[in-house]
Structure formats: structure tokens, C-alpha cells
């Protein structure tokens, strides 16, 4: 009863969340480090703006992925039970 991960990752919403969340997360981490290393407070402000966005997108991605995996697993179990 393995779930096809490639099929789940082909979901339109997951792709959209990954395409936006990964760059936002990278910008957030870069601003955190650059603000610390260069002692520029503006980077800290950008970090405080981008960090919640990256977290929300990441949590949304994970929740959507689990929902799709559970749905696929249930449908495969239902198909097996219907065939018997």
C-alpha cells in the first residue's frame, strides 16, 4: 500500500507553495544572517516580514501533502477491498 509520492507532488497547489515558499524562506534566512553579520537593522525588519510568510507556506505545504497522501492511501485501500 505504498503511496505514489511523484503523483502527490504533481499537485498544482503543492507546486505553487513550493515555488513561492522556498525563495521566501531563502530570502528570510539570508536577511537574518546578513543582518547579523553586517549589523544592518533593515535586514532584521525584512526577516520579520518574510519569516511568518515562509512558515505559513511551509506548514500549508506539509498539511496539504499529508492530506493528499492520506486520501491516496484510503482510495488504494478502498480499491483493494472492492476488488476482493
The mean pLDDT of 29-56, rounded to a whole number, is: 96
What is the spatial distance between Cα 49 and Cα 11, in angstroms, rounded to a whole number?
A: 28
Question: What global pTM score does this model have?
Answer: 0.83
First-to-last C-alpha distance (Å) of the chain: 15
pLDDT in tens, 55-73: 999 999 999 999 999 999 9
Q: Number of helices (H) and strands (E), helices first, in the chain?
A: 3, 0
Amino acid at each position: 500500500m505504498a503511496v505514489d509520492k511523484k503523483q502527490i507532488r504533481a499537485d498544482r497547489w503543492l507546486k505553487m507553495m513550493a515555488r513561492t515558499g522556498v525563495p521566501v524562506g531563502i530570502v528570510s534566512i539570508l536577511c537574518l544572517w546578513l543582518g547579523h553579520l553586517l549589523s544592518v537593522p533593515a535586514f532584521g525588519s525584512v526577516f520579520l516580514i518574510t519569516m511568518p510568510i515562509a512558515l505559513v507556506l511551509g506548514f500549508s505545504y506539509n498539511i496539504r501533502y499529508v492530506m493528499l497522501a492520506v486520501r491516496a492511501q484510503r482510495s488504494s485501500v478502498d480499491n483493494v477491498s472492492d476488488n476482493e
